Amino acid sequence: MKIAVGSDHRGYKAKELIKTIVTQLGHECIDVGTVDGNPVDYPDPAYLAAKAVAEKRADRAILACGTGIGMSISANKVKGVRAALCYDELGARISRHHNDANVLCVSGELLGEVLLRKMVEVWLGTDFAGGRHLRRVQKIEAIEKDKDPTSVKNHNG
């Protein structure tokens, strides 16, 4: 898979670790910045990574800022993106399995290296379950189109 990876200055060290993990797992890494620890506004790399996913230039993206909150809010503004803010392995797994999240947002300051590695491994290795969860993702897509999600009547699963 092609994985876009981005951060602001507070997530820079985590982003560099994420790049190593992604590469070690055999995936291609697309670094959208930042390039050092100098201050940068989190919406900038969040937009670049989210657009790469939405435009199918990347299969998924992983973003890091101080808490992950700003990255999540920013990335979720891009149509076609389902960014999940996760702080543990279970959240990372469920975000893929139930929500088909295509962007993982993490804290660059609150997670240790071991937990961050496990979260990235699990998130990249977990498939979307489909079934009843597909209907829910379709409802999210309806909201993106400014439609009432209750209009989605797919009852598969």
Catalytic residues: 65, 98
Q: How far apart are CA 50 and CA 75, in angstroms?
A: 5
The count of other CB atoms within 10 Å of the CB of residue 15 is 26
Of 63, 126, 123, 60, give the one whose Cα is nearest residue 88: 123
- Candidates 78, 152, 93; CA nearest to 128 is 93
Q: Which two tokens stand for residue 116?
A: 């961050």
